[in-house]
Structure 1
């Protein structure tokens, strides 16, 4: 089947290309905010918003009114109009809040352009982008399929990246006999029914003291000054390192599970509610269980695997997976091992939960 797949690379623009990228950021932000204002005014007056076509027909007039809009990629400006329309569509369907204005002070800036007539091409370690021309980038893996669009982004650390979206033919992996249940945790990240335990890397905890040190330095410096910006970039780079190491761990674990198992059963976790616990919120955020589930979901769809979910409120830790006896004492998180009073089986808390998750997901 055909799927949309994104390839992210770091790009190294020269000074002229960097200035043009910044101008495109500003012009796209201006167009977005302009049509967002018109959309809000029309909605306040009539109770109905605008449409993408009505905004797109006004864009050429806007470019005649502001000559500097012609200096950047025209498709990027059209994409900004499309983003306004999509944001209101999601708002009407109650997927998110009402769209907000974009700020030039936001640490992440981006714009999107579409591939038309071969204006986006990859040749070795050179990438051709509209208006920017040929730009050097880190070609860490080959681009596959038909190129659809490219998003240029500057992250808070001041680095530039491009995400190329392609239409790719994904072939399912050959079938295997593996069938496991997974219990996610904090001390041990995942315990599987095949006896495997995956340790939690605790990425944020390893960088927490250094991050706090630089955050204090940034707070003590005059906001907006040169030294303040230096400390801000340092904080952003530490956050970037944490995110990259966490993402690398999650991708490696999920890919390994997908390759070795045909059916994977996991628990439906309500992470938003769990984050309300002040004692565990930081560790739960560091574990990134929602991202783990998201990666497993699309990878299982790509490679022909089956992902099953156990009910959110299924009793997995307290019930003996051998005889089904309920043991309420296991509610205490300090109890890591316990013996079933009925069948006298000695259980490891997490391993028993993994078996129960597997049974609950299959019988769902």
Structure 2
């Protein structure tokens, strides 16, 4: 775990340095820096900070690719006339993953064991069998200190038997969703269920003196409650989206501007808790794989 944390810290340093370099280039020369120009900085930084050599080179390149994608997303928002939101520097504890970009280079899966370049061999507890060709690997740390190995794989779609059944989905707050079949699905209100426990934990955190072990301990309690709420919400969205994709050949969602609805101060908390956008995204992804519309 020490090497994983050290890798995260070094990746965060590269992210911030790359971001600072690109910001300076624009502010001083109005120049857009390409990703390959930032890659050329890595040998220079390696000479200045020898500890960077403890991180696999493609992992550091992927960090710079993330900065590049962040700027691309910013420019797209500007072109659409939206609020841009410049890429931000990452403070300690706010950089939580690193990626090996190419299977066979930097990482290797050997049965229950995972070999990581510059880190060593670790044993995996598999969530499920890996199907398809492994392309990339991301090591991710949650805010509660758990570590996950997330594999990106290339696999063929698995279409389900054809069906002419169609359904319309009308999301709401009183009921999470009402189907055109007449079925109403209860709103689980995951945040509301844990709101009192979260408020109590946050009050205890605010009373702890800054910089003390007790404050660190109480902060972990708050983070754990947030993680529990998010996990329950994801599980609900995954199960419901899988059910719809299995039962219907065509699934239609109403066209909502959720971002605009969240500006309603009286309903924002309930709308965010319902996570309609997450549910629609999961359904869309499963439908594409299953040959649904």
Q: Under a length normalisation based on structure 2, what TM-score does the superposition of the two structures give? A: 0.92
SS in 2 for 1:104: coil
SS in 1 for 2:41: helix
Residues 22 and 32 in structure 2, CA contact (< 8 A), matched pair in contact too? yes
| Alpha-carbon distance, 1:100 to partner | 1.5
Q: Does residue 118 of structure 2 align to residue 98 of structure 1?
A: no
For 2:26, the equivalent position in structure 1 comes to 43
| Alpha-carbon distance, 1:240 to partner | 0.8
d(CA) in 2 for partners of 1:64, 1:240: 40
Q: Does residue 155 of structure 2 align to residue 168 of structure 1?
A: yes
Residues 173 and 304 in structure 1, CA contact (< 8 A), matched pair in contact too? yes
Larger Rg: 1
| Alpha-carbon distance, 1:136 to partner | 2.3
SS in 1 for 2:149: strand
d(CA) in 1 for partners of 2:119, 2:174: 48
| Alpha-carbon distance, 1:287 to partner | 0.5
Which structure has more strand as a fraction of its residues? 1
- 1:1-364 to 2 correspondences below 5 Å: 18-94=1-77, 97-106=85-94, 109-117=96-104, 119-306=106-293
Residues 147 and 166 in structure 1, CA contact (< 8 A), matched pair in contact too? yes
d(CA) in 2 for partners of 1:259, 1:175: 10
d(CA) in 1 for partners of 2:71, 2:103: 26
d(CA) in 2 for partners of 1:117, 1:248: 32
User: Once the two structures are superposed, what CA deviation does each residue of 1:118-166 show, in whole Å capped at 9, x if it has no partner?
Assistant: 5433344332322222212321211111212111122111111222111
d(CA) in 2 for partners of 1:279, 1:161: 37
User: Once the two structures are superposed, what CA deviation does each residue of 1:42-62 show, in whole Å capped at 9, x if it has no partner?
Assistant: 112221121111111221122
Structure 1 residues 210-219 or 157-166, which shifts more? 157-166
Residues 55 and 81 in structure 1, CA contact (< 8 A), matched pair in contact too? yes
d(CA) in 1 for partners of 2:264, 2:19: 37
d(CA) in 1 for partners of 2:17, 2:163: 54
User: Once the two structures are superposed, what CA deviation does each residue of 1:323-348 show, in whole Å capped at 9, x if it has no partner?
Assistant: xxxxxxxxxxxxxxxxxxxxxxxxxx
Structure 1 residues 113-122 or 167-176, which shifts more? 113-122
For 2:81, the equivalent position in structure 1 comes to none
SS in 2 for 1:122: strand
Which structure has more helix as a fraction of its residues? 2
Structure 1 residues 121-130 or 277-286, which shifts more? 121-130
d(CA) in 2 for partners of 1:162, 1:128: 12
d(CA) in 2 for partners of 1:25, 1:258: 38
Gaps of 5+ in 1: 1-17, 307-364
d(CA) in 2 for partners of 1:41, 1:244: 40
Residues 121 and 128 in structure 1, CA contact (< 8 A), matched pair in contact too? yes
d(CA) in 2 for partners of 1:135, 1:24: 15
Residues 125 and 139 in structure 1, CA contact (< 8 A), matched pair in contact too? yes
Q: Under a length normalisation based on structure 1, what TM-score does the superposition of the two structures give? A: 0.75
d(CA) in 1 for partners of 2:277, 2:65: 28
Gaps of 5+ in 2: 79-83
SS in 1 for 2:243: helix
Q: Size of the alignment, in residue pairs? A: 288
